[in-house]
Amino acid sequence: MTLYSLKNNTNHTFLIEEVRKKLAEMGTTNWTIHFSWIQAHVGIQGNELADTLAKETATNGDLKESYKKVPKSVVISVETWQRERDLTRSEITKEYFPVLADTLNTNINITPNLTTIVTGQGNMRSYLHRFEIIDTPTCACGSSDQTIDHKLYECALINQ
């Protein structure tokens, strides 16, 4: 969930609506609530714990998938999902998967590298520099910033 999702008045997903209801309820009891963005992977204890637990869950092969706990109100049509996704800023992902219905019928081997490519987030110097994790976005080849497009189409080190 993102702050953008909460601010987006056209976003009516189950989780966002539940958060909005709880905020309204708390507001009537004199609570003052402030939201702030927290950068991931920078040593914030609660954030690091959530990340660790998510990774443990994702890599635990003994866990069975269960969709019984998903409220029916969360399940939306592919058309609704497409409309909501079109309002987001996931421009790189939209380039690779413009029509969600087509994507659902595609068998894709999801790897960390693929995730980096289709989201623009991950182990790319331009992305890491954006969050001040590293000092420079410049690729090791020295010709430009290390972006997904640079690595795929321009990088002399990759395309030898």
- Asked, for residue 28, whether it belongs to a domain, the answer is yes
Length of the chain: 160
What pLDDT was estimated at residue 83? 86
Using a 10 angstrom Cβ sphere, with 0-12 exposed, 13-18 middle and 19 or more buried, the burial of residue 105 is: exposed
Say how far apart CA 81 and CA 92 lie, in whole Å. 17
pLDDT (average), residues 7-13: 79
Report the pLDDT averaged over residues 47-52: 71
Does residue 60 fall inside a structural domain? no
Domain assignment present for 144 = yes
User: What is the average pLDDT across 27-54?
Assistant: 73
pLDDT, average across residues 54-61 = 66
Among 17-21, 70-74, 97-101, where is mean pLDDT lowest? 70-74
> What is the spatial distance between Cα 121 and Cα 114, in angstroms, rounded to a whole number?
10
Q: Predicted confidence band at 37 (pLDDT cuts at 50, 70, 90)?
A: confident
* Domain end marker among 25, 52, 75: 75
pLDDT at 6 over 70: yes
Strand partners, 98: none
Per-chain mean pLDDT for the chain: 80
Is residue 143 pLDDT above 90, yes or no? yes
Q: Return the percentage of the chain with pLDDT > 90, whole number.
A: 12
* 63 DSSP 8-state letter: P
Q: Where does a domain end: 20, 55, 75? A: 75
User: Measured at the alpha carbon of residue 128, what is the angle toward residues 1 and 144, in degrees to the nearest 5?
Assistant: 130
Q: In this model, does residue 55 exceed pLDDT 90?
A: no
Boundary of a domain, candidates 22, 51, 75 = 75
What is the domain count for the chain? 2
CA 24 to each of CA 1, 19, 158: distance values in angstroms, whole numbers, following the listed order: 18, 9, 52
* pLDDT confidence band for 154 (50 / 70 / 90): very high
Residues 6+ apart with CB under 8 A from 63: 57
What integer pLDDT is reported at residue 89 of this predicted model? 77
Residue 87 lies in a domain: no
pLDDT band at 141 (very low <50, low <70, confident <90, very high): very high
For residue 99, being part of any structural domain is answered with: no
Residue 17 domain-assigned?
Answer: yes
* Residues of the domain holding 10: 1-33+69-75
Q: Please count the CA atoms within 13 angstroms of the CA of 125 that sit on its side-chain side.
A: 15
Q: Express each pLDDT in 101-111 by its tens digit.
A: 888 888 888 88
Q: For residue 54, tell me if it sits in a domain.
A: no
Domain membership flag for residue 6: yes
